[in-house]
Amino acid sequence: MRWSSWLFLIALLSCTLAGCAAEYERPALEDMAMIGVMGFDYVDDTQMKVLVSIPVPAKGKETTQIYATQASMTSEAMLALAPKVERTITLSQLRVILFSEELARKSGIGKVVLDLYRNPIVGENVFIAIVKGKVEDVIRGKYKNKPEINTYLNDLLRPRVETAFSSFSTIHDFVFMMTSNIGDPNLPYLVKQDGSIEIAQVALLRKDKMIGLYSQREGKLVQCLLGRKRLPRVKFGFGGPDAAEENADMEEIIFDFVWSKSKVRSNGNTKKPVIHIDLELRGVVVGYDGKKNLDKRPQITKLVKQMEKRIQSETKTMLKNYQKWGVDPAGLEESLRQKYHGKWTREKGLALYKKADLNIKVKLDILGYGTIK
């Protein structure tokens, strides 16, 4: 044999030596306890109660371990939890972070999120949500006919069209919204009722502190303004017993937005700012209850006009209210920032935003109305 072959053989054999090495630094997969959900409850201004839920891999039956401790930082909580768990705990499979409303309102969630953002073990697709009441009740709750809590919450918060009325905030998204200086972050607001969890509303935050809630319907418009292409279905109702003479017919429409586009531009004037909002929406009528014959062009044009007017007025009322309260979940300040030369700060942005005039145009296309006229 040539010497090179001997060298190769020796190299190959020395690889097997790895089996003799003491292995204590990276435990095998079965020895890891992978935290799926972390929850934070308010105790006082510095302390919080940290709950973690860990799925236990077992054949046939899914079980979950839940541990709790008190700490002021996430990493400190991990330190305190480590001896309690029989395996090595890791954050590498973390999927959901829950905060109680009290914590979000009183001490803010920025510290916890930034602590996790620092940790390179934590992945990017970790969703953040705010819970009504105590997080402990949600994590320890029993849910009939649902998968175990880790899978359940992850599935619930995963981006879907049906729940697209709130921003699906991963850690990165939240840190982005918190530090971007062009708007107020929003997060899904979970409510536990009747043995299940529902994304009931959208929580509005200023920096990292929760300041209020808005409804799903408003959330859909806000998402449209933020530039989401695919929006959830919306119900429109026209007419009714106390409506004006010309549209006295009762009509109900469930509209599915197939495609939407929003253009938010400002005029760049700091004395008298104007924000132009152009909404372009296309969609199909999913459900219709009314007297119109949707096969006839003039009738459908009339319907389009009605809906455009409705969306326009709803958007206007909503944004006017936000301006009055000085909050900006729709990120309209971005359009002002784009035309602003000099150092941009949130205070300047809010001042401009509050006095801005809004000019909203809506263009709607009905692409289809189902199989009956």
Partner 1 sequence: MDRGKIHSLNPIHVIGLIINSMVGVNLLSLSHFASKMGYNLWMAPILLGIIVTLTVFPMIALCSRYPGDTLFGIHEKLLGKWLGSCLNVLVIVYAILNTSTANEGYVRLLQTSMLNNQTITMPLLGLTLVMMYITNGGIKLVARFCLLALFFTGWMLVLLHYGFQKGGLSHIFPLFNTDLASVLDALNQSSGSMLGYEILLIYYPFIIEKNRARRHVLIGVWTVVFFYVLVLLTSVAYFSEWQVANLVYPILNLFKAVELSFLERVENLGIGLWVFLILSTSTAYLWMARTGMEQLAGKRRLWHLLLPSAISYFMIRGPLSVEAQRYLYDQLTVYFAYGLILWPIFLLMLHALRRGRGEKVS
Kindly indicate which of the ranges 68-76, 147-155, 287-295, 339-347 contains the residues binding partner 1, using the contact rule CB under 8 A: 339-347
**Binders of partner 1 among 90-109, rule CB under 8 A?**
92
20 lies in the site for partner 1, by CB under 8 A: no
61 lies in the site for partner 1, by CB under 8 A: no
| Residue from the set 2, 20, 25, 324 that interacts with partner 1 by CB under 8 A | 25
**Binders of partner 1 among 200-259, rule CB under 8 A?**
227
List the x/- string, 156-175, binding to partner 1 by CB under 8 A.
Answer: ----------------xx-x
179 lies in the site for partner 1, by CB under 8 A: yes
Minimal distance in Å, beta carbon 178 to partner 1?
8
Facing residues of 285 across strands? 255
Answer for the pair 286, 256: CB distance below 8 angstroms, yes or no.
Answer: yes
Answer for the pair 51, 149: CB distance below 8 angstroms, yes or no.
Answer: no
| Residue from the set 338, 357, 361, 367 that interacts with partner 1 by CB under 8 A | 338
342 lies in the site for partner 1, by CB under 8 A: yes
324 lies in the site for partner 1, by CB under 8 A: no
Q: Rg of the chain over CA atoms, in angstroms?
A: 26
Kindly indicate which of the ranges 62-70, 118-126, 213-221, 289-297 contains the residues binding partner 1, using the contact rule CB under 8 A: 118-126
53 or 169: whose CB is closer to partner 1? 169
Q: How far is CA 120 from the centre of its chain?
A: 22
CB atoms under 10 Å from CB of 345, counted, come to: 10
Kindly indicate which of the ranges 4-12, 13-21, 179-187, 307-315 contains the residues binding partner 1, using the contact rule CB under 8 A: 179-187
Which string of b and e fits 308-338 if b means at least 16 CB within 10 Å?
bebbbebbeebbeebbeeebbbbbbbbbbbe
**Binders of partner 1 among 65-94, rule CB under 8 A?**
92
154 or 306: whose CB is closer to partner 1? 154
* Lookup: tokens for 171: 């850690």
Residue 136 CB partners (closer than 8 Å, separation 6+): 39, 41, 49, 51, 68
Beta strands in 72-217 (DSSP E): 88-90, 96-100, 127-131, 186-193, 196-206, 209-214
Q: Where are the alpha helices (DSSP H) in 158-291?
A: 171-179, 216-226
159 or 240: whose CB is closer to partner 1? 159
> Which phi and psi (to 5°) does residue 98 adopt?
-115, 140
Binding site for partner 1 (CB under 8 A): 25-26, 92, 120-121, 123-125, 172-173, 175-176, 179-181, 227, 334, 337-342
